[in-house]
């Protein structure tokens, strides 16, 4: 897929891989990384690539849902939220893969309308959904 126009480019540098540090070019993101205990690392007060991906996907997907709602003239509840669960594990035949579950909270919104917003956001709008399609198992649940 080729973009017709690049609107923004985020730049971040990692040093030390999963047990290192990441810093964005503007310094807003400036955090240590540690391998989680579940993956054989020390864990502790630091982030990891899956947390960063989950944060980005959750924020982006909620933005996509809000955009679709705006286009369809649907009022989004004030306490709308998206929680992304990003799992990592071995894949066949080699290497590792991720799986994603997005829990979308649209309290008080009719289920059929909410499902339509979520489906359209996933199918047509969210760039994370476009990037993962056909490569990452993504499950979306209305909660």
In whole numbers, what is the pLDDT of the chain averaged over residues? 97
Residue-wise DSSP of 5-66: -------EEEESGGGSEEEETTSS-EEEB---GGGTS---S-B-HHHHHHHHHHHHHHHHHH
Question: In whole angstroms, what is the distance from residue 36 CA to residue 42 CA?
Answer: 6
Among residues of the chain, what percentage have pLDDT more than 90?
A: 98
Q: Is 9 helix (H, G, I), strand (E, B) or coil?
A: coil
Q: Are 32 and 75 in contact (CB under 8 A)?
A: no
- Whole-structure pTM value: 0.96
What does the alpha-carbon distance between residue 88 and residue 125 come to, in Å, rounded to a whole number?
25
CB 40 within 8 A of CB 49: no
Mean pLDDT (whole number) for 71-82:
97
Q: What is the pLDDT of residue 1?
A: 74
Res 39 pLDDT > 90: yes
């Amino acid at each position: 897929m080729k973009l017709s126009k690049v609107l923004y480019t985020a730049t971040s540098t990692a040093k030390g891989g999963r047990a290192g540090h990441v810093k964005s070019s503007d310094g807003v993101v400036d955090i240590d990384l540690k391998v989680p205990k579940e993956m054989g690392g020390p864990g502790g007060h630091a982030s990891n690539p899956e947390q960063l991906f989950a944060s980005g996907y959750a924020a982006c997907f909620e933005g996509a849902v809000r955009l679709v709602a705006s286009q369809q003239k649907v009022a989004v509840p004030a306490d709308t939220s998206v929680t992304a669960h990003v799992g990592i594990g071995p894949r066949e035949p080699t290497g590792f893969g991720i799986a994603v579950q997005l829990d979308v909270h649209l309290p008080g919104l009719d289920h059929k309308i909410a499902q339509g917003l979520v489906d359209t956001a996933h199918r047509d709008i969210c760039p994370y959904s476009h990037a993962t399609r056909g490569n990452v198992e993504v499950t979306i649940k209305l909660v």
